[in-house]
Chain A
Amino acid sequence: MDWQGQKLAEHLMQILLLAFAVVAFATGYIMGSFQMMILIYAGGVVLTTLVTVPNWPFFNRHPLKWLDPSEAEKHPKPQLAVNSKKKSVKKN
């Protein structure tokens, strides 16, 4: 799951659970049935679990674009500069 996917999963989870809670409470209160509220909410929790917990493909639409290894080989200087700086710090 990529970064965007993680954000989406968290938002989906919160919105779905809250929406099911509101619907379940309203239905239960209007029908006068506590059991109905619990059943609707339990169904909502199961559905939310199925939507947000497995690593579905739509959570992986924004893969990180790492530089190609050959690209890095073409520009070795920055790495050397960083290394030499670190070494100098350690020496001090």
Chain B
Amino acid sequence: MHSFGYRANALLTFAVTILALMCTIGSLSDNLNTPSPSAQIEILNINWFQKQPHGNDEVSLTLNITADLQSLFTWNTKQLFIFVAAEYETPKNALNQVSLWDAIIPAKEFAKFSIHTSNKYRFIDQGHSLRGKEFNLTLHWHVMPKTGKMFANKIVMSGYRLPEDYR
């Protein structure tokens, strides 16, 4: 503490150490939040369902996605990344996931929404096993914090079925 430089250095070091501690506690405080998100996805229409020339099945859907994810936001949340995946089982693979739609929610006021959309990314099965297939639509989310630990979770909605015939 005898010179200007020594005091400036000591202050900066201590200040940054405390800042790191504050960020750590801020991240830990996320655990106090018990979110209760809800989501509903309706398939309004199957626009078309066909077999591609080289053999893969492809579906186009119109979805209505309604969700209330406001409770996921805390003071330490920067944004949410959410995506809807179609999940189904085939004889070869126990879990197939196809991402159909995604979004970034930048603030709490946009976290309660209802959107009417066709699938943003193509729903293609690597094979031809989609006819009459029962599948789940799962809303996954990743909570991106300002500092600290990322959280991820999902809501599984089951009971959707594709038609038996191409159209």
Contact = CB atoms under 8 A, between A and B. Distances in A.
Interface of A: 1, 6-7, 9-10, 13-14, 17-18, 21, 24-25, 28-29, 31-34, 37, 41, 45, 48-49, 52-55
Contacts of B146: 34
A54 B3 CA distance: 9
A55 B7 CA distance: 10
Interface of B: 1-2, 4, 7-8, 10-11, 14-15, 18-19, 21-22, 25-26, 29, 74-76, 146-147
Given A37-B22, A37-B26, A41-B19, A9 B7 contact: yes
Nearest to A28: B75
A8 B44 CA distance: 72
A37 B11 CA distance: 19
Given A9-B7, A34-B75, A41-B18, 14 more contacts: A7-B1, A9-B1, A13-B14, A14-B14, A17-B11, A18-B18, A21-B22, A25-B25, A29-B29, A31-B75, A34-B26, A34-B147, A53-B4, A54-B4
Given A52-B7, A53-B8, A17 B2 contact: no
A53 B147 CA distance: 30
Given A34-B146, A37-B26, A10 B10 contact: yes
Nearest to A55: B4
B11 A25 contact: no
Contacts of A9: 1, 7
A41 B153 CA distance: 33
Nearest to B21: A21
Contacts of B2: 1, 6
10 contacts: A7-B1, A9-B1, A17-B11, A18-B18, A32-B75, A33-B75, A41-B18, A45-B11, A49-B11, A53-B4
A48 B11 contact: yes
A37 B18 CA distance: 12
A64 B160 CA distance: 86
Given A1-B1, A29-B75, A13 B25 contact: no
Contacts of B15: 17, 45, 48
A53 B7 contact: yes
A89 B19 CA distance: 55
Contacts of A32: 74-75
